[in-house]
Structures are given as structure tokens and as C-alpha cells.
Amino acid sequence: MRMSELLKRSGMPLATVKYYLREGLLAPGESVGATMADYGEEHVRRLALIRALTEVVGLPLAGVRTIVGIIDEPEADRYSTLGRAIAVLPPAVEADAHGDYPRARAALAEIGQLCDPGYAAVAQLERALAAAEAAGLPMGRERLHGYARHIMAIAEIDMAELPEADTSRAVEYSVLGTALYDPIFAAMRRLAHQDLASRMLGGSAGDQTR
């Protein structure tokens, strides 16, 4: 497709697309003449990725560059490649000076899950558990097990669709699936609470449609 078509498909202005081309975030099109280039579905796809990461996830351009770099040149080790890409996503949590993460470590041991302190989510879990504890709502043992069971089931649904053959596609899927499904998760949890509350508490919920 020509640039005009790419702009239409991506919904982005020319200046923005040219900027991504200059920055190397978008590969050049195939030359079809002195001033013309041909773009493919990969270009549409890449622009959708950049837009999701900047506009929806709110990632600074440096973070987008890191993720795009990993997608364009993945390492042989898929596990660590995926881990490096996911670590770029928010929330950014400073690493514990001691690398200690006592709450996260205890919680993961309790539910029998891998604890890799080099992975950003361990620090994220530590901070989140500490905050809940400080506010007087510590994660209890029973709740932890209940959560873990259902979250693992959700993770299995996610992983079932991981593109197996292609590491670049797997990184793209993991990054977008993590960042864009977090808010779906949060909204669905609130809506499930509301659905239960309307049954338990009645009240004005009676007016609504189910």
C-alpha cells in the first residue's frame, strides 16, 4: 500500500509516521520508484502496537523503543526475552536495595510458584502487598490461595493463545496482552463486585437490567 493508505489505516498523521520512520521504530517501506515506497500489513501492525503502547499504556518513547528492539531482534532464550519485554511495562517499581522482597517471596512459596527476583513483577507484588498490609487489609492465607487458583486459570487462558512459532509475535502478544488486559481485568472485577452487591444488597440495583 502507499503511504496515504497507511495513514488512513493507522489513523496517524504523516508527521508522526515520518518521525517513527526516522527513529527506526517503523521499518522503511519497499522502494517502488525514486520517491515512492510500498508498505505492508506489518507496518499497519507496528503502528497499532506503537499507538497502544504510547496512548493507552502511557509508555514513554524510550520504553517503546526497548520493546520494539526486542521484537525486532529477540534473543534465542524466549523465556528471558519475554521477561525483558514485560519488565518495561508499568508500574515501574524500584528494585529493593536488598533484593529481598519478603512478602512476595513468602506468598509465592505458599502457592508453589516460581520466584525470580530478577523479574519486575516480584517487586510489584512486594510493594502491592506491603501497601495493603499498611492500610490494614493484609492478604490472608486463604485469600491468597483463592486468588492464586483463579489467576492461574486466567493466565492459562492467556498462554493458550501465545504464538508458539515466532518469538517476535510472542513478545508482541505478551506485551499487549499484559498491558491492555490489566484494565479489562480491573473493570471486570469491579463489575463482578457490583453484580454481587446488587444481589446481596438490593437497593437501587433493582431498576437496572441484567
Contacts to a second copy from residues 77-116, by CB under 8 A: 77-80, 82-83, 86, 91, 104, 108, 112-116
Identified binder of a second copy from the candidate list 42, 150, 163, 166, rule CB under 8 A: 150
Nearer residue to a second copy within complex by CB, 36 or 185: 185
For residue 75, give the C-alpha cell.
534473543
Q: Name the helix (H) or strand (E) containing 133.
A: helix 120-134
Nearer residue to a second copy within complex by CB, 34 or 157: 157
Identified binder of a second copy from the candidate list 27, 61, 66, 127, rule CB under 8 A: 127
Footprint of a second copy on 5-34 (CB under 8 A): none
Footprint of a second copy on 164-183 (CB under 8 A): 173-174, 176-178, 180-183
CB–CB of 108/101 below 8 Å? Answer: no
Identified binder of a second copy from the candidate list 31, 137, 163, 166, rule CB under 8 A: 137
Distance CA 129, CA 124 (A): 9
Nearer residue to a second copy within complex by CB, 3 or 44: 44
Angle between helices 3-10 and 14-22 (to 10 degrees): 100
Nearer residue to a second copy within complex by CB, 23 or 158: 158
From the CB of 20, what's the least distance to a second copy, in Å? 16
Identified binder of a second copy from the candidate list 100, 147, 163, 166, rule CB under 8 A: 147
Distance CA 123, CA 160 (A): 26
For residue 179, give the C-alpha cell.
498491558
CB–CB of 162/170 below 8 Å? Answer: yes
* Site membership for a second copy, residue 1 (CB under 8 A): no
Identified binder of a second copy from the candidate list 34, 62, 97, 208, rule CB under 8 A: 208
Identified binder of a second copy from the candidate list 14, 32, 36, 56, rule CB under 8 A: 56
For residue 200, give the C-alpha cell.
446481596
* Site membership for a second copy, residue 210 (CB under 8 A): yes
Name residues whose C-beta falls within 8 Å of residue 190's C-beta, 6 or more positions apart in sequence: none
Closest by Cα among 15, 84, 80, 1 to 45:
1
Name residues whose C-beta falls within 8 Å of residue 118's C-beta, 6 or more positions apart in sequence: 83
